[in-house]
Structure 1
Amino acid sequence: MSYTEKEAERRKAAVLVIRKFIKGFITRNGPINDCNKDFVEMAKRNWLMRLSKSLPSNFLKRTWPPCPYSCKEASAHLEKYYASHMSRVYRKKLTPERKLVFEQKILAEKLFKGKKANYPESLPHTFVTNRLSATDISIDTILDEKQRYCSPVIKYDRRGFKERDRIMVVTNNSFCLIDLKPKQLKMKHKFPLDKLEFIISPALNSFVLIKIPDEMKKADKGDLILKVPHLIEALTLTVEITEKPEKIIFAKTNMIEYAKPGKPGQIVFSVGPQENFFRDKKNGNLLIISRSTVGLNNT
């Protein structure tokens, strides 16, 4: 066979290979056959090589690379297995402190998501067990138990609703309100923690009514009206201690009653541009203005 004939045979064979490859490309998404099996195998190999170099590195942003049609089933399994692997690695690296942060956030979600308008605002912030400034007097000197949570709050008088600065302290067994006078601490209220109920409004405000058990009202004169700046945090950490989520009660109407000497008092809720607590001059009730939720992202 002459050189020219050999060259013609070689070109003819090359044409057949190219035609087969083109047909394999055209039928790559169909059933595997003699024409497309080589192309499909090549596509699988190339995809696996690309995948190995572009696996997600961020547990929270798992963008999975696209795949050929022939690799869809394998890709789905690999994505699932790799996500499980990343989750396991992430969990193993969690410190006890970081794990506790997640557990508290999960508890807050169960307690308040879809129930309390303040909840979305608490999402970006890690819960803190001590909200006192470094210049405040140490409250350990007045406690006979270890504090679990403390925060400045405002207490409102049951009559006249005058504001009183207080420190709210939660221990394993007690709920306390402490008066912080210049260079002096005074215990104003102390109750068994598991005996109290916490009534809140679903609206966007910092109000909580501490319901005192009937057998203790005579000594303490009635329920406690508080404005708690980090309300979701305070109630979540309190429930974490008591393990009694049923003690948080959501008001079902725009008016609730509270116990005080004589006949019960009334607290009325309304909506305005900003939060406010004040005495209604018309009827003497405590009027609580909640912020409007219009435009907020209620995640």
Structure 2
Amino acid sequence: MVHKLADKKTRKTLERDDFRLLHYAGEVTYCVVGFLNKNNDLLYRNIKDVMRQSKNTIVRECFASKESDGRRRPETVASQFKSSLLGLTDILMSKEPWYVRCLKSNESKQPGQFDDMVVRHQVKYLGLMEHLRVRRAGFAYRCRYDVFLQRYKPLCPATWPYWRGVAAKGVEVLVQHLGYLPDEYKMGRTKIFIRHPRTLFATEDAFEVCKHKLASRIQAQYKGYWQKGQFRRQKEAATKIETCWRGVQARKEKGRRQWAVKVIKKFIKGYMARGEATTTDNSEYLAFVRQNYLNRLKDNLPKMVLDKTSWLTPPPVLTETSEILRQLHMRLMVRKYIRGITAQQKAQLQLKGITSVIFKGKKDSYPQSVSQPYVDTRISDQDINMKVLQMIHHEGIKYSIPIVKYDRNGFKARPRQLILTQTAAYVVDDAKIKQRVLHTTLKGVSVSTLSDGVIIFHIASEDDKQKGDLIMQCDHLFEALTKLSVVANKQSAINVVQGSVKFQMQAGKEGIVEFSSGQESMVYKDKNGHLMVVSTRTRAR
């Protein structure tokens, strides 16, 4: 078909110098411009010789003799094509055939543009549809066992990284792990045949996913290998540094030991001559002894004035110095303590001092009473009978405390109140004054050496009708007697006796109070008429 004979629609796609032939694969367009130059053929040499022998001068000039006299005939286009074809055939036969169909997406050669008519035309005349039908009718993919196993072995743990055995057996294990159905593949003698393309595509998709995991694993292995090498190099460097540092430390240690040996030798000589006068041999040792003792004494000084035992024992060379320092430190602690106490604490200490003079080392319960503070009174004015308070208020109440009074005849216990004023001691019940004892008539006070709280007032009287001595029991014995000794100035009249005490029941008649220790504290009248006071040694007052 030429431009002149074509219809209007076809002329739009043909130039004036073009013509189109209908082949089995479709329409092919040729251009006449340069057609002869592209398809010319060389003349044989013998024909050129004949043309040079022509009688026509123009013909002879066209075929001038410029070539060599060789006898070999030049290759024609057909022979060149045949030679090229044979060479291509040899190359293809030495390779595994793998056909790739290339399709032209558009006529303008632009990327991203697809012409459906052009693509459909190429698919139709390249025979791709017939080829697909043939492949689908049989097995669409075939591959040798070793190649298939080498490519897809990462998909199965049993075949990765190495399969030690026959390749066919490895492929069978691989496809079973991938879940191939029996009708999807066949095992040949040297190859595996896969029927459906979707099976191969699924395998390829799984392989693409697996490649990322393999890459990560290879990367991790490489990083681990690199880090191990880095660690090995760092360890070697650290070992070298440690070796050098240990050498330096060893040399320093050697110097210190040499110095220590010299010092020890000096101290041994000084220790051997420590009792002698200061000489060149023991002067350093004695200086060390003094300094060491003073440093230890600085960190172990007594913290309390009453601490008499924690002072460090001095070496013989510092005996006198240690005693002087102990006295100075004691004075310093006393001064600090005195400056720090209040007026109330000072009054407490004065009372405790009086108690200590009277009872220390004499009465069993005294050590337990040291830590108990004294109070101004044990009974408030509201708890004293109003009439009694009016009667004795002008004398000035100094101290009051609840007591238990024992009758002189039957020793019956009666709860009472003991009130100390500036002039007398009053025994009071809930309504009236039961007995008044002037401080001037109080001959003495008796208590036992045990831990009981019984107090006996010995009263001097010139009147035969005067009541006898006063027997009572008090829970705060030390506090009450200390207050009495201060108010009545009767410190020397308080006696601590052992065993029994005689008392005046009434004029001309005496009674006895016997003191003893037992498992339980009690006060009772014995069959012999004596008042028995039993106390435990562990009871605190």
Q: TM-score range by the shorter chain?
A: 0.7 to 0.9
Q: Which amino acid aligns with 2:264?
A: I
CA drift at 1:167: 0.7
Q: Could you state the TM-score of these two structures normalised by the residue count of structure 2?
A: 0.44
Q: Which amino acid aligns with 1:211?
A: H
Contact 2:267-2:284 within 8 A present in 1 as well: no
Structure 2: give runs of 5+ residues left out of the alignment: 1-255
Q: Which amino acid aligns with 1:221?
A: K
Q: 1:79 aligns with which of 306, 322, 326?
A: 326
2:533 match: 289
| Residues 78-117 of structure 1 mapped to structure 2, 5 A cutoff | 78-117=325-364
CA drift at 1:15: 10
2:398 match: 148
Q: Which amino acid aligns with 1:189?
A: Q
CA drift at 1:238: 0.9
CA drift at 1:38: 4.0
1:123 match: 370
Q: Could you state the TM-score of these two structures normalised by the residue count of structure 1?
A: 0.75
State percent identity of aligned pairs: 28
Structure 1: give runs of 5+ residues left out of the alignment: 1-13
CA drift at 1:176: 0.8
Q: Which has the higher contact order (CA 8 A, sep 6+)?
A: 1
Q: Closer, same or farther in 2 for the Cα pair 1:227/1:43, shift >3 Å?
A: closer
Q: CA RMSD in A?
A: 3.5
| Residues 1-299 of structure 1 mapped to structure 2, 5 A cutoff | 20-29=262-271, 30=274, 31=276, 32-38=278-284, 40-41=286-287, 44-45=290-291, 48=294, 51-52=297-298, 55-61=301-307, 63-64=310-311, 71-132=318-379, 136-137=383-384, 140-143=389-392, 144-180=394-430, 185-196=431-442, 197-216=444-463, 218=465, 220-251=466-497, 254=500, 256-260=502-506, 264-271=509-516, 272-280=518-526, 282-283=527-528, 285-293=529-537
Q: Quick one: distance in 1 between partners of 2:383 and 2:420?
A: 17
2:142 match: none
Q: Residue by residue, what CA displacement relative to the aligned partner does 1:204-248 show, whole Å, maximum 9, x if unpaired?
A: 322222222222552x43322212222222112211223233322
- For the pair shown, the structure with the greater C-alpha radius of gyration is 2
Q: Quick one: distance in 2 between partners of 1:72 and 1:244?
A: 45
Q: Residue by residue, what CA displacement relative to the aligned partner does 1:37-81 show, whole Å, maximum 9, x if unpaired?
A: 345445545654565555444444474457666555433432332
SS at match of 1:115: coil
Contact 1:116-1:204 within 8 A present in 2 as well: yes
Contact 2:420-2:484 within 8 A present in 1 as well: yes
1:10 match: none
1:4 match: none
CA drift at 1:252: 6.1
Q: Quick one: distance in 2 between partners of 1:202 and 1:191?
A: 25
CA drift at 1:85: 1.6
1:11 match: none
CA drift at 1:97: 2.2
Q: Closer, same or farther in 2 for the Cα pair 1:27/1:148, shift >3 Å?
A: farther
